[in-house]
Structure 1
Amino acid sequence: MNGNNEEPIPTIPDSDYVASLKPLVDFLGVALGPTVEIVLHDVTTLDASVIAIANGHVSGREIGSPATDLLLRILRSGEAEQRDYITGYTALSSTGTSNLRSSTFFIRREKKIVGALCINADQTLLKSLESLTNRISASYFTTDASQPKDKEDKPEVLSTSIADITSSAIHSALATRSVDVDHYSTEDRLAVVKLLDDDGYFQLKGSVADLASALEISEPSIYRYLRQVRGQN
């Protein structure tokens, strides 16, 4: 074969590229121990993005669980395009456990995010030790209760199903309004739709139908509100 007729190097689909990292998940799960969960996400299937997981008992998730709210927000806003990873943020398991410390590495092909490798460390034992230390410390040192506490970013929610993540997102959005749903004005509905859109909620299958049901309006109305908040005609 001469140089002018060389066959192009075959490329593999994004999903296969991400899946090639599955052995790394098993390795890290064993190396870091049973209190550290390792999760591999394929963002081409957000409704069932978890394609590999080690120590899933930490969050209660399994293969086929959906993308997290944090990952949806990042994909919607492009927030991660300027960085390769996020470290040291708080996450909540589906059971409400708040003692998780998490980090995410974004997997890219040609600068596009195609997957994510997440590490979620259960901090329960450390929190218990911290609490004990604080009680002992309080016996010797006083604190100024008037000083404001440090503000922490919104924690990531590690949902086990699409129903969990959509229900949680809708509940949080509705809670931002001061009136009941049956008294919502157009402005209230637009505000809820914009908040959910900013969080990447509408990337999930069935999201429009679920929100329409919660707001007691039709699906075409949701699409109309979406066009408005996105500045479309």
Structure 2
Amino acid sequence: MNDAMKKQYSIIVEFLGKALGPDYEVVLHDVDDHINSIVAIANGHVSHRSVGGPMTNFGLEVISEERYKKEDYKINYNGISKDQRILRSSTLFIKDEKDEIAGLLCINFDDRRYKALSENILKLCHPDKLVELNTSYDSSTIVDNAEERFYGSAAEEISSVLDKYLSENGIPSDRLSQDDRLHVVDILNQKGIFMVKGAVKEAAKQLACSEPTIYRYINKVNNE
């Protein structure tokens, strides 16, 4: 993303952040720098991120799968904050004069205050149990299947994927087999995490193997 685009869209980020209010986080990503991707952010308290933060798994997938060539934006999908809050997210694909991806303009809405207000209003005229039945949902399913997750670094995302895999399969961290490592690398690869500089080194560290081994696993899953 060139400097003129950064300046123009940074103003839009500031404007939208003030116009929409504190429950809406607005983020500008530069796709040329996956590690320090965030160049402007308003209401960063929503996802606990700041300028200099990395590209998300969703952004990496948009780039690697070239989704921007078929659509201009994606709206109303689930994103998950670092503290496991469910956000309603939408992303505009910013393209240059050659119609190539240059950046991402993202809006993440935290509806907790509105949900609490709605429940309190309903409780004025309905029993608490009825309100609970009509407003509750399985948040764990949404968290597990969310399209986008907001982490502070590639290390955090790799750690999250690994912890989930170990938990779901009842495997101690020091008992990972070759097949287990291959499966974790496959999950990370599908998320596009290896597009981030340093991700291979971090994966090797957390999976207790060498960097050449990670590259071998990546080649294997890409060729299957």
Report the TM range for the smaller structure's normalisation.
Answer: 0.7 to 0.9
> How far did 1:128 drift?
0.8
Using structure 1 for the length normalisation, give the TM-score. 0.79
**Identity level (%):** 36
**CA distance in structure 2 between the aligned counterparts of 1:166 and 1:226, rounded to whole angstroms:** 15
Which residue, 84, 100, 114 being the options, matches 1:112? 100
Match of 1:33 in 2: 21
Which residue, 59, 63, 68 being the options, matches 2:51? 63
5+ long unaligned stretches in structure 1: 1-13
Match of 2:89 in 1: 102
Match of 1:45 in 2: 33
| Mapping 1:111-130, distance limit 5 Å | 111-130=99-118
Which residue, 176, 197, 200 being the options, matches 1:205? 197
> How far did 1:177 drift?
4.2
In the alignment, residue 208 of structure 1 is paired with which amino acid?
A: V
Contact 2:161 2:184 in 1 (8 A): no
The reply on whether 1:187 has 2:179 as its aligned counterpart is yes
Q: Deviations over 1:164-190 (max 9, x none)?
A: 334324434554545334433332222
In the alignment, residue 75 of structure 1 is paired with which amino acid?
A: I
**CA distance in structure 1 between the aligned counterparts of 2:195 and 2:214, rounded to whole angstroms:** 14
In the alignment, residue 209 of structure 2 is paired with which amino acid?
A: I
In the alignment, residue 35 of structure 1 is paired with which amino acid?
A: D
Match of 1:16 in 2: 3
The reply on whether 1:222 has 2:214 as its aligned counterpart is yes
In the alignment, residue 179 of structure 1 is paired with which amino acid?
A: I
Give the match's secondary structure for 2:223. coil
**CA distance in structure 1 between the aligned counterparts of 2:220 and 2:89, rounded to whole angstroms:** 35
**CA distance in structure 2 between the aligned counterparts of 1:180 and 1:140, rounded to whole angstroms:** 40
In the alignment, residue 84 of structure 1 is paired with which amino acid?
A: D
> How far did 1:155 drift?
4.9
> How far did 1:216 drift?
1.4
Contact 2:122 2:131 in 1 (8 A): no
**Greater Rg by CA:** 1
> How far did 1:73 drift?
2.5
> How far did 1:103 drift?
1.0
> How far did 1:115 drift?
0.6
Using structure 2 for the length normalisation, give the TM-score. 0.81
> How far did 1:149 drift?
6.3
**CA distance in structure 1 between the aligned counterparts of 2:172 and 2:12, rounded to whole angstroms:** 48
Contact 1:68 1:158 in 2 (8 A): yes
Match of 1:196 in 2: 188
**CA distance in structure 2 between the aligned counterparts of 1:44 and 1:155, rounded to whole angstroms:** 22
5+ long unaligned stretches in structure 2: none
**CA distance in structure 1 between the aligned counterparts of 2:157 and 2:59, rounded to whole angstroms:** 12
Contact 2:93 2:103 in 1 (8 A): yes
Match of 1:10 in 2: none
**CA distance in structure 2 between the aligned counterparts of 1:71 and 1:55, rounded to whole angstroms:** 19
Give the match's secondary structure for 2:205. helix
> How far did 1:141 drift?
5.1
